[in-house]
């Protein structure tokens, strides 16, 4: 390895019971570079970075930072050494404000108890304030947010984050929350920032902004490691990339020297079909007829304003939209999870508006929710429990009141086998949350698809999963369509919408504003409509075009 490397991980090996997560992996990161860490789900990327961040300790191998050997027992040691990590699932407390979330874990006592008091309070004599015991108590148990708050706001402004630091985190969008996580790292003066699948939860526009921020950071000498399985990202922003496959380091290459196909081959170990041909199948009778739908979100704000939508048998209808424009609620309404305030929903010609979720399920509706951890599974329960979530009332799992866990387990094994879910040796032992993102998503899709639904509502089915799984999931979606299932597909990935859909709808501010087909429509036009069509300002329009076209540069 070259001498100018800032971080050097050498011969890292980490085993978990029954699995070698990292097998003699080495990588080095130079100062001020963006280094990609590429691999399929379960390749050991997250494990390697968790070792670097002190969350796991390696069985063997060394970590050197700026020439010094690091010996880390906890993330605290990593933070001390100037390493920051933005996790895939944000570690923020929704009820607290941005600034409180950022100072969390640090002591920010009232200014009079600081090492260098920046002001003196006239009301209390300084002889009392400087008493050691009072100082000790004060420095531990008081919270002074004024100074940190202005520092954080200044930091946010410096990086062009449009965030008011006194806003509670629950009011922020996913992209903004991620910026809060980055701010949290910056506030702790990081030299190395690790981002675990940072764009998995972002819209393409937000991802674009993230990348701008990252390159700004590197200009200031911060090194960045991005864990990802998106080839486009690797190509557009990284300087070098290290590829892992099944726990082994495949090698580190300069991004400029390789193309997408090379990377995919390194990652999967064989040639990968990056685009899928979708064949037209004749449309049958409508399975979902929604007319004039109105619905509110949790806070009672109207988020669907008169949506008309029809999905036919054997048809994929793609709904494109920027997150927060009502597609989440539309998906939930179509799946019978969210009640509507007006309008009607008919499945297979039968009006079941505002009936229970169970009656939607019984009418043949399946639902793949957007957030697989929050809504798609019960993480602490076993794969077996999660496999029968939809079908547990079915007679095959026992008559009457009885639930037969043996036949449930064998059903779970069927799902696992059929959808090639990896990392499971006993379906009643492994918890859903122990599966990697892609494998969990496969399990959820298996659960929803193998019951042969008439209508499948799939919200962001491939978000945050690796290339191999994306390919698999897309093929299964098309196969399901060919069997006659009507599919309502929500996605922020325009490529996905265009590759899979038979019809494309665009949702903006709770209304369907545009309809086209993949053959006739253009990505630019759809990208524009997602952001409100002609009415948007020029700068936003420019960004949208870039975002909508992002990652398609080679076609």
Beta-carbon-side half-sphere exposure of residue 122 (alpha carbons within 13 Å):
0
Residue 19 binds other proteins, judged by CB under 8 A:
no
Output 187 or 211, the one with its CB closest to other proteins.
187
Q: Residue 457 CB, nearest distance to other proteins (Å)?
A: 11
| Residue choice 91, 95, 106, 552 for contact with other proteins (CB under 8 A) | 106
CA distance 241 to 384: 38
- # binding residues, other proteins (CB under 8 A): 53
CA distance 182 to 185: 5
Q: Residue 339 CB, nearest distance to other proteins (Å)?
A: 12
CA distance 320 to 503: 11
| Residue choice 145, 337, 536, 543 for contact with other proteins (CB under 8 A) | 337
Output 159 or 405, the one with its CB closest to other proteins.
405
Q: Residue 414 CB, nearest distance to other proteins (Å)?
A: 18
Residue 115 binds other proteins, judged by CB under 8 A:
yes
- Please check whether residue 282 is in contact with residue 314, taking contact to mean a CB–CB distance below 8 angstroms: yes
| Residue choice 380, 417, 418, 515 for contact with other proteins (CB under 8 A) | 380
3-state secondary structure of 512: strand
523-530 helix and 538-549 helix, angle to the nearest 10 degrees: 130
What is the side-by-side strand order in the sheet with 455-459? 365-368, 455-459, 486-491, 316-320, 503-508, 511-516
Residue 189 binds other proteins, judged by CB under 8 A:
yes
Residue 307 binds other proteins, judged by CB under 8 A:
no
489-528 residues near other proteins, rule: CB under 8 A? none
Longest dimension (CA), the chain: 86
The CA-to-CA distance between both ends of the chain, in Å, stands at 36
> What token pair was written down for 462?
């491939």
Beta-carbon-side half-sphere exposure of residue 540 (alpha carbons within 13 Å):
12
Output 170 or 284, the one with its CB closest to other proteins.
170
Q: Which stretch binds other proteins (CB under 8 A): 163-171, 395-403, 472-480, 544-552?
A: 395-403
Residue 262 binds other proteins, judged by CB under 8 A:
no
| Residue choice 401, 425, 519, 538 for contact with other proteins (CB under 8 A) | 401
Output 128 or 401, the one with its CB closest to other proteins.
401
35-94 residues near other proteins, rule: CB under 8 A? 55-56, 73-74, 76-77, 79-80
* Size (the chain), residues: 555
Q: Residue 23 CB, nearest distance to other proteins (Å)?
A: 20
CA distance 12 to 52: 10
DSSP string, 355-401: --HHHHHHTTEEEE-S-IIIII--TTSBHHHHHTTTTTTSGGG-STT
Q: Which residues contribute to the site for other proteins (CB under 8 A)?
A: 55-56, 73-74, 76-77, 79-80, 105-107, 113-115, 132, 135-136, 138-140, 187-189, 335-337, 356-361, 367, 369, 374-381, 385, 388-390, 392-393, 398, 401-403, 405
């Amino acid at each position: 390895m070259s001498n100018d490397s800032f971080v050097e991980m050498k011969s890292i090996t980490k085993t978990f019971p029954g699995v070698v997560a990292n097998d003699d992996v080495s990588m080095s990161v130079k100062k001020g570079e963006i280094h990609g860490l590429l691999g399929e789900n379960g390749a050991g990327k997250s494990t390697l970075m968790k070792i670097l961040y002190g969350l796991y300790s390696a069985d063997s191998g060394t970590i050197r930072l700026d020439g010094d050997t690091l010996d880390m027992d906890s993330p605290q040691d990593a933070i001390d050494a100037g390493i920051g990590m933005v996790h895939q699932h944000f570690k923020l407390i929704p009820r607290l404000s941005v600034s409180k979330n950022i100072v969390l874990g640090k002591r920010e006592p009232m200014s009079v108890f600081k090492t260098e008091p920046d002001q003196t309070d006239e009301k209390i004599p300084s002889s009392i304030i400087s008493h050691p015991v009072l100082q000790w108590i004060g420095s531990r148990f008081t919270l002074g947010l004024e100074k940190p708050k202005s520092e954080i706001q200044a930091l946010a402004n410096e990086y062009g984050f449009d965030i008011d630091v006194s806003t509670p985190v629950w009011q922020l969008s996913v992209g903004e929350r991620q910026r809060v996580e980055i701010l949290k790292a910056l506030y702790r003066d990081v030299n190395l920032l690790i981002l675990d699948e940072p764009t998995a939860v972002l819209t393409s526009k937000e991802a674009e902004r993230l990348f701008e921020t990252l390159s700004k950071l590197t200009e200031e000498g911060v090194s960045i490691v991005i864990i990802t399985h998106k080839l486009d990202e690797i190509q557009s922003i990284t300087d070098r990339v290290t590829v892992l496959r099944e726990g082994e380091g495949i090698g580190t290459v300069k991004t400029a020297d390789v193309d997408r196909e090379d990377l995919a081959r390194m990652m999967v170990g064989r040639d990968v079909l990056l685009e899928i041909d979708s064949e037209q199948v004749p449309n049958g009778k409508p399975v979902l007829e929604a007319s004039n739908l109105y619905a509110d979100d949790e806070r009672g704000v109207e988020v669907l304003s008169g949506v008309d939508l029809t999905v036919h048998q054997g048809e994929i209808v793609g709904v494109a939209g920027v997150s927060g424009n009502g597609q989440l609620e539309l998906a939930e309404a179509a799946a019978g999870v969210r009640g509507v305030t007006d309008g009607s929903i008919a499945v297979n010609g039968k009006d079941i508006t505002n009936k229970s979720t169970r009656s939607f399920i019984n009418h043949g509706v399946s639902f793949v929710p957007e957030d697989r951890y929050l809504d798609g599974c019960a993480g602490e329960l076993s794969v077996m429990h999660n496999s029968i979530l939809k079908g547990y009332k079915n007679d095959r799992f026992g008559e009457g009141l009885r639930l037969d866990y043996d036949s449930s387990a064998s059903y779970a094994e069927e799902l696992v086998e059929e959808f090639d879910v990896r990392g499971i040796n006993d379906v009643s032992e492994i918890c859903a949350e122990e599966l990697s993102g892609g494998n969990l998503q496969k399990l959820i899709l298996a659960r929803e698809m193998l019951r042969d639904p008439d209508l499948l509502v799939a919200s962001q089915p491939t978000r945050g999963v690796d290339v191999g799984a994306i390919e698999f999931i897309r093929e299964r979606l098309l196969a399901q369509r060919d069997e006659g299932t009507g599919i309502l597909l929500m996605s922020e990935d325009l490529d996905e919408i265009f590759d899979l859909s038979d019809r494309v709808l665009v949702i903006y501010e709770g209304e369907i504003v545009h309809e086209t087909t993949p053959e006739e429509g253009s990505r630019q036009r759809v990208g524009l409509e997602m952001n409100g069509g002609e009415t948007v300002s020029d700068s936003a329009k420019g960004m949208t075009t870039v975002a909508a076209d992002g990652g398609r540069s080679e076609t």
